[in-house]
């Protein structure tokens, strides 16, 4: 396809150039590629136009006159990048229905459950998310929660080639703010919740919410959690366009009724107008009710039958790093969970606080170079709700782990719950296992699916499952 067919204002001298490859990363330019100058949060692609030409770019797409012979000036390079990427990969969005899930917590679980439902109903479905990307039967590693514009089109193209009809994807606030999902019309958008996170980037909760809202201007169907205060604001913004779900509010489109929590899951009834579906989840906790309800309501709004939806939800086995039970062969239980926000930590602790046990032991840390205000809040939550707390490192990045820990323990002052500080996370986990008592539940919070730890600028291998195995061998 010729460039002039995609960008109408292409100069005559360039109008017959065929589009082969497009990129907004000068490091990925190959001979004949089209380089699009996009201004990002850290760098401006216009500053790399000459480097792109040196690497073999045939055309530079820009928002300002750079004085180059082979430039195309457009009003919006983000939009141009989406249009060019779509064309370069054969217009995959014409053949694929995309569902986006956004919110602070629950995105991965909701996407996983939605994929299970769609596959159960006979629709081959790809998935893009924090833990992994799934294309047909192939599992690919995930680098970002939401990839960039070009990488997304590449994944969509692979999904179409694999016979997928749907793609379910996590949509982060960063991606929405940075326009990584530019040009996508979502078949449905799902809002799970909004709690404190990413304020190092967004600065305020209002900015964070405004970023999340953008998904629903791009979605045909909106599915909103109205038990969340920001969900209520979103409903007021969207009006009749939205469908809602709740475990508290009978006026919602769908509610969870007769919730019965079990140590290994939860049963409830998904109730809508003239509709009742019985769900027997194999994942514990109130947050699992919310996640499965979000997936179920979205599927119902897409026109899928309630009996097939509840069958699929009842067969979901869980998500790696989300309330994941690690086999120990001992008389205590170890849980790995991704909880890394105040709300997430509170949810996972409360989930297992309701389960018969001896002690509830919580091990966690906070990430470096990120929102510092949540650290004392998480310390206070752990101290108030757990029976014993181990404070350690998460991904310290370029901060000193000891400084992060001081911020956490500041929130624990005046609370009588015993706690221990062990800066090294491996040693902390081994201590937790070595000192476990019969009937204990030990929650390792923060890392979840991650198999690495970022110390300084180094990414070091750290898989908590391997550490637990080593620790158990030493007990």
pLDDT tens digits along 396-454: 999 999 999 999 999 999 999 999 999 999 999 999 999 999 999 999 999 998 999 99
Q: How far apart are CA 277 and CA 256, in angstroms?
A: 10
Which residue is it, tokens 């929405």?
Answer: 176
Domains belonging to the chain, first-starting first, are: 3-88 (3.40.1390.10), 92-315 (3.40.1190.10), 324-474 (3.90.190.20)
Torsion angle of C-alpha atoms 252, 253, 254, 257, degrees rounded to 10 = 40
pLDDT the model gives residue 196: 67
Q: Is the dihedral of CA 161, 167, 170, 174 positive or negative?
A: positive
Nearest to 253 by CA among 238, 240, 237, 236: 240
Percent of the chain with pLDDT over 90: 76
Q: What pLDDT does residue 263 have?
A: 67
The residues facing 79 across adjacent strands are none
pLDDT tens per residue across span 344-371? 899 899 988 877 789 999 999 999 999 8
Residue 68: pLDDT above 80?
yes
pLDDT interval class at 134 (50, 70, 90): very high
Task: Please give the pLDDT value at position 247.
Answer: 95
Give mean pLDDT, residues 179-193.
Answer: 95
Confidence of residue 309 (pLDDT cuts 50, 70, 90): very high
pLDDT of residue 323: 83
Q: Cβ of 43: how many Cβ atoms within 10 Å?
A: 11
Comparing 284 with 58, which gets the higher pLDDT?
Answer: 58
**Which pLDDT band, with edges at 50, 70 and 90, does 318 fall under?**
confident
Q: HSE, CB side, 13 Å, CA atoms: give it for residue 134.
A: 19
Q: What is the mean pLDDT of residues 44-67?
A: 95
* Per-residue confidence (pLDDT) for residue 66, from 0 to 100: 94
Q: What is the mean pLDDT of the chain?
A: 93
pLDDT of residue 367: 95
Q: Rg of the chain over CA atoms, in angstroms?
A: 24
> Could you tell me the CA-to-CA distances from 469 to 1, 104, 388, 429, 463 in Å, in that order?
55, 31, 22, 11, 10
* Confidence tier at 57 by pLDDT (50, 70, 90): very high
> What pLDDT is stored for residue 352 in this prediction?
87
Structure confidence at residue 198 (pLDDT): 66
Average pLDDT on 55-75 reads 94
Of 137-146, 412-421, 456-465, the range with the lowest mean pLDDT is 137-146
pLDDT for residue 65: 94
pLDDT-derived band at 322 (thresholds 50, 70, 90) equals confident
Model confidence at 389, pLDDT cuts 50, 70, 90, reads: very high
Distance CA 170, CA 340 (A): 17
- What pLDDT sits at residue 139? 86
pLDDT, position 292: 96
pLDDT value at position 180? 92
CA distances from 366 to 118, 393, 429 (A): 36, 7, 15
pLDDT category, 327, cuts 50, 70, 90? confident
pLDDT number for residue 146? 79
Give the pLDDT confidence score for residue 15 in this predicted structure: 84
Check whether 241 has a pLDDT greater than 90: no
């Amino acid at each position: 396809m010729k460039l002039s067919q995609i960008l109408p204002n292409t100069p005559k001298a360039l109008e017959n150039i065929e589009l082969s490859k497009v990129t907004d990363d000068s490091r990925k330019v190959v001979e004949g590629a089209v380089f699009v100058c996009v201004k990002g949060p850290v760098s401006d692609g216009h500053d790399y136009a000459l480097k792109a030409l040196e690497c073999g770019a045939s055309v530079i797409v820009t928002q300002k006159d750079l004085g180059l012979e082979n430039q195309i000036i457009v009003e919006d390079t983000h939009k141009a990048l989406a249009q060019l990427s779509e064309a370069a990969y054969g217009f995959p969005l014409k053949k694929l229905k995309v569902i986006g899930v956004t919110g602070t917590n629950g995105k991965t679980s909701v996407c996983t459950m939605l994929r299970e439902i769609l596959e159960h109903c006979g629709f081959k479905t790809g998935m893009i998310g924090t833990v992994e990307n799934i294309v047909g039967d192939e599992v690919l590693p995930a680098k970002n929660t939401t990839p960039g514009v070009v990488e997304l089109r590449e994944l969509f193209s692979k999904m179409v080639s694999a016979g997928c009809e749907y793609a379910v994807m996590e949509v982060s606030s960063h991606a929405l703010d940075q326009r990584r999902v530019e040009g996508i019309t979502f078949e449905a958008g799902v809002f799970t919740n909004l709690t404190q996170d990413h304020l190092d980037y967004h600065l305020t909760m209002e900015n964070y919410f405004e970023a999340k809202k953008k998904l629903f201007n791009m979605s045909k169907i909106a599915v909103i959690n109205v038990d969340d205060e920001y969900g209520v604001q979103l409903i007021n913004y969207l009006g009749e366009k939205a469908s809602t779900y709740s475990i508290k509010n009978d006026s919602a489109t769908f509610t969870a009724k007769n919730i019965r929590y079990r140590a290994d899951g939860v049963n409830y009834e998904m109730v809508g107008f003239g509709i009742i579906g019985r769900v027997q989840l194999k994942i514990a906790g109130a947050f699992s009710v919310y996640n499965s309800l979000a997936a179920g309501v979205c599927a119902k709004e897409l026109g899928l039958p309630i009996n097939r939806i509840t069958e699929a939800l009842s067969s979901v086995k869980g998500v790696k790093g989300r309330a994941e039970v690690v086999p120990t062969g001992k008389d205590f239980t170890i849980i790995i969970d991704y909880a890394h926000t105040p709300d997430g930590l509170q949810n996972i602790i409360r989930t297992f606080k309701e389960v018969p046990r001896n002690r509830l032991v919580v091990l966690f840390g906070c990430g470096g170079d990120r929102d510092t205000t949540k650290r004392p809040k998480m310390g206070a939550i752990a101290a108030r709700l757990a029976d014993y707390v181990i404070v350690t490192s998460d991904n310290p990045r370029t901060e000193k782990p000891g400084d992060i820990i001081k911020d956490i323990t500041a929130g624990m002052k005046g609370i009588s719950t015993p706690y221990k500080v062990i800066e090294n996370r491996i040693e902390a986990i081994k201590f937790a296992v070595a000192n476990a008592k019969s009937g204990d539940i030990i929650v390792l919070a923060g890392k979840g699916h991650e198999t690495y730890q970022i110390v300084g600028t180094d990414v070091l291998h750290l898989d908590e499952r391997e550490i637990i195995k080593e620790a158990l061998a030493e007990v």
